[in-house]
Amino acid sequence: MSEEDKPADVVHLRQLGPCPICKKTSTQKYHPFCSSHCANVDLGRWLNGVYTVPSQREENRDIEPETNE
Ligand SMILES: [Zn+2]
């Protein structure tokens, strides 16, 4: 993913909220994070399954019929 390929206007339309990792002000370059470090931290959490939503998933599986030939 290359941020430089995107027009600058698109980036400016976004609201830069606080970094979800350390709550510092996020930067456009690493949005929504403040730095590449926090972006990597977030990525690591995803890879470790920290961000899974078990309750929602199980509910959806209950509703979904298994035999749908
Ligand atoms: Zn941060």
pTM: 0.48
- The full set of domain ranges for the chain reads 3-62
What CATH homologous superfamily does 3-62 map to? Erythroid Transcription Factor GATA-1, subunit A (3.30.50.10)
Q: CB under 8 Å to 11, separation ≥6 — which residues?
A: 3, 28, 31
Report how far residue 19's alpha carbon sits from residue 47's, in angstroms, rounded to the nearest whole number: 19
**Structure tokens, 54:** 């078990």
Give me the residues near ligand 1 (ion), CB cutoff below 5 Å. 19, 21-22, 24, 34, 38
Compute the distance from residue 10 Cα to the ligand 1 centre, in Å. 22
pLDDT at 67: 72
Let me know how many helices (H) and strands (E) the chain has, helices first.
Answer: 3, 0
pLDDT at 12: 54
Compute the distance from residue 45 Cα to the ligand 1 centre, in Å. 14
pLDDT in tens, the chain (69 residues): 555 665 555 555 556 789 999 999 999 899 999 999 999 999 998 888 865 666 655 555 666 666 766
